[in-house]
Structures are given as C-alpha cells and as structure tokens.
Amino acid sequence: MHRRAFLGSAAATLALPACATVQPRMAARGCLPAVDVSPDRVIRTLAGLRPFRPAGFRVEAATLGDKRIVHNYGHGGAGITLSWGTSKLACDIGLQGHEGPVAVIGAGVMGLSTARLAQEAGFDVTIYTKALPPETTSNIAGGQWHPFGHFDRSAVTDEWRARYLAAAAYSWRRFQIMVGDDYGVRWLPTYSQGGAEEQLFPSFPPNSRALRPEEHPFPLDRVSRFDTIYVEVGRYLRQMIRDVQVAGGAVHVRDFASPADVAALPERLIFNCTGLGARALFGDETLIPIRGQLAILEPQPEIAYAFTGDAGYMFPRPDGILLGGTFERNVWDATPQPDAIARIVASHQRLFAGFRCTA
C-alpha cells in the first residue's frame, strides 16, 4: 500500500508565514547514491501500533463529572503529520473561555503539541503520562510529513474532511518554522512510484512532478518526485519536552485505569491525548491498532532522499536508514516479526540493486 493512497485534493488556508525550501542538487543524469541494503546491515527492528479510527481522528469536547475533557486521538499513520493541526483544533475548542491550569494526558507527539499550544496561549500546563519518550508510540514513527492511513474514505463526512484539511495546512506550516538541527526537522526530496502526487492543498506537496526515465535511477516504469519535511522523531520529542519544561510545565508519570481516575485530577480542563490507550480508558471500540514494522539499517550520510512505492518506504535519518512498510489492521502485538522484516529488507534490496546508475 502506497503512503499516498489516503490523500485527497482540496484547498485550505493558514496565516502562518511560509518558509523557503533549499533543495540538494541532482547528480548528473539523474543518478543517486544507492542504499546499501543487506540483512547484516540491520542494526535494530521495531514494531508500533498506529491508533486508527475508520471515521478519522476524534477532536471534540465532553463532560467528565464536573470537568471538561477535550479528546485528541485516533490519528492512524498521520500522528506526526497532523500533530500541530489537530492539537490546535483541540485547543481552540477547550481554551476558549477557560480560566486556570490545564492537564494533558499523554506525552507522545499529540500530548506535547497540545501542551505547547496551551502554554503559548498563556495557560499553566501539567502533563500526566504513563510513558515518556523514548517509550512512546510516537518514537517509532517514520517521521515523514505526509498524511497516510488515518481514515476510511467511506466512513468520513464532508465536515470532518474540512477539519482535516485545515489541521493539515496548519501543521504543515508549523513544521516549516521548526526546520533545523534543534528539532531534527529537515527537507528532503522524495521519489514515489507512480504518477505525480495530487495536491492536498495549494502548498502541498511542493515541487511535485512526474519524472522522465533519464531523471531517476529507479528500475520502475513510472516515478515521480516531490519535496516534504522529515522529522528525526527521537530528537524532536526530546526537544519538545524541554520546551514544555522551560515554559514552566510539569510532567508527572501516572497511569489512569478509569475515567474516574482522570476526573480526580485537580485541573478542570483536561486534554486526552492517549492515542490507542483511549480505547480502554474511554471505551472507544472504533479505535483499533494498525501494526507497522521497521528495519533500521546502519546510517548512510550520503543518502539525502526518500522513497515510497511497492517495495515499501525508505526514510534516511542520522540514526539509521528506516525501511518500512507494513499496514496490519487490528493486530495488537507490537513485536517485530522476523518473516515480515525479512520481506521488507529483501524488497528494498531488490529495488536498490536494480539502480540503473549511482552517484
């Protein structure tokens, strides 16, 4: 399944300033350095459970005893991508008219983004979380900015789609102003099997076009390229926690067994950013896991591009080359499976061994 499969085309606007992109120069004749893929270069394997809802992310308010809770979960494979946008939707709902401190449950990318936006709006924030980075599901994410695998087309409404596009546009611009080493956010050209990417909104994806055979080295009939942002997730989450703490926020490790435990918090406004944990904690049985498995190769600093296609996906990071692509619906075991990892490695080995030329 291609990561592009869940994109739709529509327009959305945002008032954050745009940032220019600086693209690496292509080698002569469209050649690129090939990823060195072999089983003996795998340095670790990972599996994570994407929190998927057929009807898409849930961002809405509810009452919990005498408290107000705003849910912000169910982002599937688009958690990093949509993190700033749906957190803004949640804060717009929850903070209006509120006075006093706020609580955030969860310290993955959604909880940290929500906490920072609440702090930026002038509120004191306490995060309560069962796990801290690097033990969160967010740490296993590939980190590509590209909405993927987060809803079923037949299950969403036009109203939800409009909120999704607004959230995506806001998040896209927010990540642009975070590019740099501090957060581990950078631009990369991405090569994709098939025709040119459809526009999700006017500024995404930039520089999208179908390529002629002489413009790329891949052993594929049709290839396109576009530019997008990639997040080194471990570094990003560490910096986000620092930002929360520098702004005066507190972080407490705490598990919640029931809504009553949540209602016992001293804060009167609570943001629920528990991801897949919301199924058990708040009884959302529409929330299911989608398992994704990764093989990480030794770093190759010369690899400055990404790829998505039938072979899977390849995202380069300073801590290793990520090879992925499983999308295993309703599988609860977050353990890498040797057979699946072997298939991921073998498919990428065939792809890069077939390069027509290398730089």
Q: What local confidence, expressed as pLDDT, does residue 28 receive?
A: 55
Residues ≥6 apart with Cβ < 8 Å to 213: none
Whether the pLDDT of residue 8 is over 90: the answer is: no
Our CA dihedral for 8, 12, 14, 18, rounded to 10 degrees, sits at 60
Strands, DSSP E only, in the chain? 42-52, 58-64, 67-73, 102-105, 125-129, 185-193, 209-210, 223-231, 250-253, 269-272, 288-297, 306-309, 312-317, 320-324, 328-329
Whether the pLDDT of residue 6 is over 90: the answer is: no
Token digits of residue 81: 């991508």
Whether the pLDDT of residue 18 is over 60: the answer is: no
Q: What's the whole-number mean pLDDT along residues 148-175?
A: 97
Q: What's the whole-number mean pLDDT along residues 38-59?
A: 98
pTM (predicted TM-score) = 0.90
Got the DSSP string for 48-94? EEEEE-TT--EEEEEEETTEEEEEEE--GGGHHHHHHHHHHHHHHHH
Q: What local confidence, expressed as pLDDT, does residue 205 receive?
A: 97
Q: What local confidence, expressed as pLDDT, does residue 281 receive?
A: 98
Q: What local confidence, expressed as pLDDT, does residue 268 receive?
A: 98
Q: What local confidence, expressed as pLDDT, does residue 325 receive?
A: 85
Whether the pLDDT of residue 324 is over 70: the answer is: yes
Token digits of residue 329: 């619906």
Q: What local confidence, expressed as pLDDT, does residue 15 receive?
A: 37
Q: What's the whole-number mean pLDDT along residues 108-120?
A: 99
Residues ≥6 apart with Cβ < 8 Å to 173: 14, 16, 17, 18, 203
Whether the pLDDT of residue 95 is over 80: the answer is: yes
Query: How many C-beta atoms lie closer than 10 Å to residue 100's C-beta?
Result: 10
Q: What local confidence, expressed as pLDDT, does residue 2 receive?
A: 47
Instruction: Assess contact for 48 and 322: CB atoms under 8 A.
Output: no
Whether the pLDDT of residue 1 is over 90: the answer is: no
- Count Cβ atoms within 10 A of the Cβ of residue 55 and give its class: 0-12 exposed, 13-18 middle, 19 or more buried: middle
Q: Kindly report which listed range (126-130, 135-139, 187-191, 334-338) carries the lowest average pLDDT score.
A: 135-139
List domains and CATH numbers for the chain.
Answer: 20-50+189-228+288-359 (3.30.9.10), 54-184+232-286 (3.40.50.720)
Long-range contacts formed by 87-92: CB under 8 A, 24+ apart: 87/113, 87/114, 87/117, 87/273, 88/117, 88/167, 88/170, 89/59, 89/163, 89/166, 89/167, 90/59, 90/114, 90/271, 91/117, 91/118, 91/121, 91/271
pLDDT band at residue 25 using 50, 70 and 90 as cut-offs: very low
Whether the pLDDT of residue 223 is over 90: the answer is: yes
